[in-house]
A and B are shown apart, each in its own frame.
Chain A
Amino acid sequence: MEKIIETKDISYSYTDSDGQISIVPALSNVSLSVESGEYVAVLGHNGSGKSTLAKLLNLILTPTSGTLYIDGKEIDHNDDDIDKLYDVRKTVGMVFQNPDNQLVATVVEEDVAFGPENLGIEPKEIQKRIDEALETVGMTEYANHATHSLSGGQKQRIAIAGVIAMKPKCIIFDESTAMLDPLGRKEVMRAMERLNREEGITIIHITHYMEEAARADRVIIVNDGEVYMDATPREVFSHVEELRAVGLEAPQATELLHRLRALGYDVPRDCIDADECAEIIVKLIKSEKEKNV
């Protein structure tokens, strides 16, 4: 499999308003890689460096040190080849935390069209992409609505549609589900999974919802600017105590079984799925009841 993203020892330090470089880097010596077509979740406490990492991968920021490869192209901190940067930004699309900063047009449809128009795509194809993108996020009936009149969650879905319409190879979702209702979250998760499975788009999903991260192929945990864990969701979530120590937690299914284990019951530590958890508990209750007779 080819790597779409590779970072070698990248670090980043912000410069504050007085021009002082921060003593504590936001990211330090991060080495990781993402294969084309992978679906990776990124977890980490507030201020751990997730958004900084996302901005480096999308070249909004360039690393203070270290090297970055996006779709095979090398990028380092003194890179100023505009064409190359433009190319890479096209490769990695990004949906930010706050949709208000992302919506550019006054009407929903125009907003979704903005990205593809800038890429010089022909009008007929653009219309098709708008329709598909709005459908994917469940906002078809709002095509002609004013963007300012939408609720927080509705705006978020339009922002996602705008990125989908540009058909990038990789999309980074920086907490794009944070403001959605349960159904909206399911719709967006389904959309992400569809983009990943059916269109082969690489997905990097930054989230604070453990249940969402459990659905990824791989989970990367960032802690204080460093990669703390990088493994399958089952592996990562089986370390309940370590997760707690870095400000995170496990899905409720894992947590329930963890509590039972702590009380001495023999249940697996790496269950992250509700159905599986229910089955395990049904078996446990039945066998315990038999012991009691």
Chain B
Amino acid sequence: MYKIEVKNVSFVYGQSTPFETSALTDVSVGFEEGKITGLIGHTGSGKSTLVQMLNGLLRPTSGQILLDGKDIWEKPKEISKVRFRVGLVMQYPEYQLFDDTVRSDISFAPKNMKLSESEIDERVREAAAFVDIDEQILDKSPFELSGGQKRRVAIAGVLAMKPEVLVLDEPAAGLDPRGRRTILGGLCEYQRKSGTTVILVSHSMEDMALYCDNIVVMNDSKIFAEGTTSQVFSRASEIASVGLDIPSIAHIANKIKGNGIGLTGNLYTVDGVLDAVLREMKGGR
């Protein structure tokens, strides 16, 4: 079942100006409830524009966004309610940090949701722990943090809302490998426990292969392909034709197969290729 459905959505920036840009052209796509869907596409393909549609930050020039089957723009005055249900971590979120302390930054949304002091406190602590931000950092100014630390704070700010749909635009860009695993692996776990629908934008094909159930591919403001992660990554040459790639481990697997050795299974992650190699060594069993 689709938690969010995008129906024939088009979006134009700077309409009737010399810089008019069609960022989305008649896009129709659905995001399955309780699944992690990856959104990939070349720079400028329209990913950030699409995800900003999902929580009503941008309004379609034409078409509809359905949340649980209901048009989110049915009552435009109530669009702020949608923003609590669909939490969006924007691209470069660290530049939206503005408060005096990390703590007040993370508690911004829960405060707006009019939660009690103690509940806010608990949510802040939970969210900070989740992104691995120490208690002592909570009282620092966000401007005194490194790039990766700021990113974590921004993610914590959205997690603290506990939204039904969690949309993350490049959440791991700029994080060190352990940070990527903590954040993305942790998100996966959170998703499995909470049943939250997650939409993840990333340029790291390796991360997509590791964490996503489904993948949607965008190209030049349109949907280019969609399917399960292995369906999408099995189309290597088409993926390359739109400026993307398959994970580097998948290239290794393809080269091994090119030598007449049959590898089978998930050939897009290190674990998957390791299993396939071990099976093949034992005679294909």
Chain A residues with CB under 8 Å of chain B are 14, 16-17, 44-48, 51, 97-98, 100, 145-146, 149-154, 156, 175, 178-185, 208, 210-211, 244, 247-249, 251-253, 255-256, 259-260, 263, 274-275, 277-278, 281-282, 284-286, 288-289, 292
Contacts and interface: CB of A to CB of B under 8 A. Distances in A.
Contacts of B48: 151-152
Contacts of B77: none
B13 A149 contact: yes
A284 B244 contact: no
A16 B141 contact: yes
Given A45-B176, A181-B42, A184-B42, A289 B281 contact: yes
A16 B256 contact: no
Given A149-B19, A180-B43, A259-B270, A14 B248 contact: no
Interface of B: 13-14, 19, 21, 41-45, 48, 91-92, 95, 140-141, 143-149, 170, 173-180, 203, 205-206, 243-245, 247-249, 251-252, 255-256, 258-259, 261, 270, 273-274, 277-278, 280-283
Given A153-B42, A180-B203, A182-B245, 16 more contacts: A44-B176, A45-B176, A46-B148, A46-B174, A180-B43, A208-B176, A247-B176, A247-B179, A252-B248, A260-B274, A274-B248, A278-B256, A281-B256, A282-B261, A286-B261, A288-B282
Nearest to A210: B177
B144 A175 contact: no
Which of B19, B43, B256, B278 has the most CB atoms of chain A within a 10 A radius of its CB?
A: B43
Contacts of B19: 145-146, 149
B44 A151 contact: yes
Given A281-B256, A281-B277, A97 B174 contact: yes
Contacts of A46: 146-149, 174-176, 179
Which of B19, B141, B145, B281 has the most CB atoms of chain A within a 10 A radius of its CB?
A: B281
Nearest to A146: B19
A47 B261 contact: no
A255 B141 contact: no
Nearest to A174: B147
Contacts of A259: 270, 274
Contacts of A156: 43
Given A151-B43, A151-B44, A252-B206, A282 B147 contact: no
Given A149-B14, A152-B43, A182 B177 contact: no
Contacts of A253: 248-249, 252
A53 to B, nearest CB: 12
A278 B248 contact: no
A179 B177 contact: no
A289 to B, nearest CB: 7
A98 B252 contact: no
Contacts of A248: 176-178
A152 B91 CA distance: 8
Contacts of B91: 152, 179
B141 to A, nearest CB: 6
Given A46-B146, A181-B43, A183-B243, A285 B252 contact: no
